[in-house]
Amino acid sequence: MSAGDERPTRRPNGATDVEGHETRNEGTTLPTLPGGLHAHAKSRTLWGDALRRLRKNRLAIVGLIWITVVLLMAVTADLWVPPTFGDPLAVNTTPGANLQPPSLEHPFGTDKLGRDVFSRVVYGARVSLTVGVLAVSISLAIGLLLGALSGYYGGFIDSLVMRSADVFFAFPYILFAIALIAVLGPSYRNVFIAIGILGWPSIARVFRSSILSVKETEYVDAARAMGASDLRIMFRHIMPNAIAPIIVYGTMSIGGAIITEAALSFLGMGVQPPTPSWGLMLSDAKSLMFGAPWLTIWPGFAILTTVLAFVLMGDGLRDALDVKMKD
């Protein structure tokens, strides 16, 4: 607009005058904004940033290390545990071989059937970790799909999914698990199936609310205005922004699933003897709690530390994955 000076009403904004002329005179190179002046750090990836923040969180690292140790022990158990400490299933009926207190030969002692407790705890980790991971995988598979449909499409689908989730929430958790296993039959496989099925409503809810909040953002509108298709918006724009709470929740859920497995096995509804499971070991030892405390202490310790490790890890991830967290 020329002749701006003759048109007072056209420039009610003082700054338009001052700044406007200033910038115009400079042609294409507009003044550098303050943001351009800061020492420019090497650009990193989002996940790289997250990892760096995670590394600074000591508790999360402790959790991660402990999970790694337990995992490594469980995976490599076949190589070193039976030759050194004895087969976890080998019953030793020699008089005096059972209920031995911890010693060099049996660092965690032996149980009433003369089996090495350390060996059983290590093999128990296999059960716990597998159940934890598989159960959460099942929950994720169902929960993510339903949560995504529910959050993205809303309306009738949303009501259907969320009301079904409410039905699941309406039952006491452990009781529901026991009922499910009573129907499926108690076994190793059915334990994680039951825990997995019971876990989906929470995952679906978390994912749905996460998607709902991301869906309303302007960058999703912007993506739509750019001509992106539904699928592209869903997977490229919404998912990456909505997945962080799921990573956190999923990690913590593994801990939860391990506890549930232990509880179910303790009640006799889970892993069946003689398979070593931490819950089952506690159950077997409950009458000997005072006579042979090592029988309860070590499986208990294993449950406590492993679950805690997953929770700490999840907590650390929550902070690490928050893009807005300044380091």
Which of 105, 217, 235, 287 touches other proteins (CB under 8 A)?
Answer: 217
* Rounded CA separation 57/164 (Å): 38
In this complex, which beta carbon is closest to other proteins, that of residue 42 or of residue 163?
42
Q: Are 255 and 311 in contact (CB under 8 A)?
A: yes
Is 33 one of the binding residues for other proteins (CB under 8 A)? yes
Residue 8 makes contact with other proteins by CB under 8 A = yes
Q: Report the distance separating Cα 207 and Cα 215, nearest Å.
A: 12
Candidate ranges 39-47, 66-74, 174-182, 297-305; the one touching other proteins (CB under 8 A): 39-47
Q: How far, rounded to the nearest angstrom, does the alpha carbon of residue 2 sit from its chain's CA centroid? A: 62
Which residues touch 81 (CB under 8 Å, ≥6 apart)? 88, 118, 119, 122, 123
Q: Are 132 and 255 in contact (CB under 8 A)?
A: yes
The residues, any chain, with a CB within 8 Å of residue 88's CB and separated by 6 or more, are: 81, 82, 115, 116, 119, 120, 122, 123, 276
Q: Identify which range of 4-12, 60-68, 205-213, 270-278 contacts other proteins by CB under 8 A.
A: 4-12
Q: Which of 39, 40, 156, 327 binds other proteins (CB under 8 A)?
A: 40
Window of 86-94, 220-228, 254-262, 268-276 that interacts with other proteins by CB under 8 A: 220-228
Note whether 39 binds other proteins by CB under 8 A: no
Please choose, out of 7-15, 248-256, 284-292, 310-318, the segment that lies near other proteins by the rule CB under 8 A. Answer: 7-15
Contact 175, 198 (CB under 8 A): no
Pattern of binders to other proteins over 99-128, x per CB under 8 A?
Answer: ------------------------------
* Closest residue by Cα to residue 116 from 129, 125, 107: 107
- Minimum distance of other proteins from residue 32's CB (angstroms): 5
* Residue 116 phi, psi (nearest 5): -70, 125
Cis peptide bond upstream of 274, omega within 30: yes
| Least Å from the CB of residue 40 to other proteins | 6
Comparison of 71 and 228: residue with beta carbon closer to other proteins? 228
Q: Is the dihedral of CA 310, 311, 312, 314 positive or negative?
A: positive
The residue (of 11 and 112) whose beta carbon lies closer to other proteins is: 11
Tokens of 228: 């992106």
Number of residues that bind other proteins (CB under 8 A): 47
Q: Does 2 bind other proteins (CB under 8 A)?
A: no
Q: How many CB atoms lie within 10 A of CB 319?
A: 15
- Closer to other proteins by Cβ: residue 30 or 75: 30
Contact residue for other proteins among 95, 225, 290, 327 (CB under 8 A): 225
Angle 282-287-290 from CA coordinates, rounded to 5°: 95
The one segment of 26-34, 116-124, 185-193, 199-207 that binds other proteins by CB under 8 A: 26-34
Binding-site ranges for other proteins (CB under 8 A) = 1, 4, 7-16, 18-20, 23-24, 28-36, 40, 43, 46, 217-219, 221-229, 232, 237, 240-241, 323-324
